[in-house]
Amino acid sequence: MASVTSGVTDTAKPKKVLFYRHSVAVRITHWLNVLCLSFLLMSGLQIFNAHPNLYWGQYGADALPDPSFISIGAVEDGNTIKGVTRIGSLSVNTTGVLGASTEDGELSPRAFPAWITIPSYQDLATGRRWHFFFAWFFVINGLVYLLYGLIGRHFRRDIVPTKDQLTPGHLAQEIADHARLKFPKGEKARHYNSLQKLTYMAVIFIILPLMVLTGLTMSPGFNAIFPWLLDVFGGRQSARTIHFITASLIVIFVIVHIVMVLVSGVWNNLRSMITGYYALKFEPKNEVSK
């Protein structure tokens, strides 16, 4: 008498399907942004080092008492110096990182260390030239991206979240999945999730425009053309502070972005931003044999 057995075969491998995720325009503007932001950050820190204090309102550098609420500097500590970062009344010893860093084997007073500034030596004029060049390059590249996003419906298709993605339950589930480093697969990975879309919208439509506008507000030449910008941001010192804060937010965004790329699949993410093609992974369906 023949016996009948049933079971599940699990020899099938996950199926991968390539789909075209990023257009040429998105890829080119993305990598140009990487270039511009890198030089803007490093040259911006060079400029900040010339006067490592942040103020609010119409206060100037010579106002008394010192109205700065954020400062990075060095103070004498016996026969040496130590770096001190102050935010309001809170002071933190940041020797070796901020305020005082090692150069040529000894501590030197410097808000941000030499390895992260362009040029590495203290030179405000050169830092400003690097910063202004890449700032305009960045603005032009951003305008090209905005035009493409509007005309090519990139924003509507890929960036703006749907109503279903904005429900409290859906957002809570995505936050929980991200906390567990659980990423979507198959068809769900075809589009950005709601957290990605909301983050990109905040960066594209709020943080980056604020960074550009406050940068223009600090330019005396631009003030002559659009003096109302000074009133909008409450003075050049306030604009400088907002500029620093928005730049810091961009750095945080980039760090989180890189971490997500690393943990969700380095090659797949890089391939999509180089060739445009992203691989969707589909788990095999279990087959029942008799």
Buried b / exposed e along 128-154 (16+ C-beta atoms within 10 A): eebbeebbebbeebbeebbebbeeeeb
Measure the CA–CA gap between 107 and 178, rounded to whole angstroms: 41
Which DSSP symbol is given to 10? -
Closest CA to 107 of 93, 120, 97: 97
SS3 162: coil
SS (H, E, C) 22-68: CCHHHHHHHHHHHHHHHHHHHHHHHHHHHCCEECCCCCCCCCCCCCC
Which DSSP symbol is given to 180? T
CATH, domain range 7-52+117-289: 1.20.950.20
- Give the distance from CA 166 to its chain's centroid: 23
pLDDT at position 1 is 40
Measure the CA–CA gap between 271 and 22, rounded to whole angstroms: 10
pLDDT at position 43 is 97
pLDDT at position 5 is 42
Contact criterion met (CB below 8 Å) for 183 and 259: no
Contact criterion met (CB below 8 Å) for 271 and 27: no
**Helix or strand holding residue 176 (H, E):** helix 168-179
pLDDT at position 147 is 94
**Tokens, residue 32:** 């140009």
Partners of 81 in the β-ladder? 76
Measure the CA–CA gap between 233 and 242, rounded to whole angstroms: 8
Contact criterion met (CB below 8 Å) for 211 and 250: yes
Amino acid at 5: T
pLDDT at position 14 is 66
Which DSSP symbol is given to 127? H
pLDDT at position 118 is 96
The angle formed by the CA atoms of residues 44, 48 and 49, to the nearest 5 degrees, is 120
Measure the CA–CA gap between 208 and 250, rounded to whole angstroms: 8
Measure the CA–CA gap between 196 and 188, rounded to whole angstroms: 13
Whole-angstrom CA distances from 90 to 48, 65, 111, 159, 179 are 20, 17, 17, 39, 31
Contact criterion met (CB below 8 Å) for 56 and 67: yes
Per domain, the residue ranges of the chain are: 7-52+117-289, 61-111
Residue listed under structure tokens 């969707």: 280
Amino acid at 174: E
Task: Walk along the chain (290 residues) in steps of 10 and give the mean pLDDT of each run.
Answer: 44 74 94 97 96 82 64 89 92 93 86 94 95 96 95 89 90 89 81 91 96 93 89 92 96 94 91 92 59
